[in-house]
Structure 1
Amino acid sequence: MAIQQTQDYYKQALETLDFVKDEEMAEEVVKGVLGVLTSKLSEQEAKEFTAQLPDYLSYENLRGHQANPSPTTAGETIDILSDHFKIDNEQANEAFQQVIGVAKEQASGEISDIAAELSNDWREAIDKA
């Protein structure tokens, strides 16, 4: 039951944004942001983080296929969202902040462990969310 609630929090947060067209787009944005985030974590930390997430955000879906985890910065992730979803950078930043905010809330006890493994730009993004 808690897994369904977590899934709802991510999608619900994005579906409140007027530029998020539908549930599929919301799900893809969540996967994009959390995929980059989990690629920046150690394998163990990524597995612990994704264990709390809904099925569509499993370790295998977010990171399992990556031979070389992404060195993408938080700013580059926003640019990727903007390009991929054909939204402006302000909208992409808003979507990014929504996803990071939910992740921060949902992984509240674990967020300091996650942040410790991240670069300064990602730590700042988590602090802002």
Structure 2
Amino acid sequence: MVVRYTNKATLLVESQGSSGGNVTLDGDLLPERSFPDQDVLGIVVEKNLTTTGDTQNVSGAPQKQVVMGLFYAGGRAIIQQNSTVFGTIIAKEVCTSSNCTAGSGNVNIVQVPGLEFNLPPGFNQIPNATSAFFGQLTYERR
């Protein structure tokens, strides 16, 4: 299944009580025209964001999954095997290995030049006063 979007938009998913707040992308998520200068989608998730890769729960699903956008997860972003993400992933933890049931296939995360100048609504309101941190917690040789 392929979902195509146009223009610039942000989808916010919050939890209510102990339920909700998670998003599973099950299928391709692609712009209709040109990414990111004409079409860009931001997905902000309070808890966890998952791409299903080649384990998609869609009949006739492709063997690989491609998603394009700007993604934020307050918890964990799980990018499962045979997924390709074009854009940016921001999360407390980004997981691409079997340690978090992401599988052991190929995962590609590609930063797209120009995305920083074409942010979806709301992302440009984030103050630039924070310090970025990247730490490698585990290493897995494949």
TM over 0.5: no
Structure ranking higher in strand proportion: 2
Structure number with greater CO (CA < 8 Å, separation at least 6) is: 1
Larger Rg: 2
TM-score by length of structure 1 reads: 0.29
TM-score by length of structure 2 reads: 0.27
Structure ranking higher in helix proportion: 1
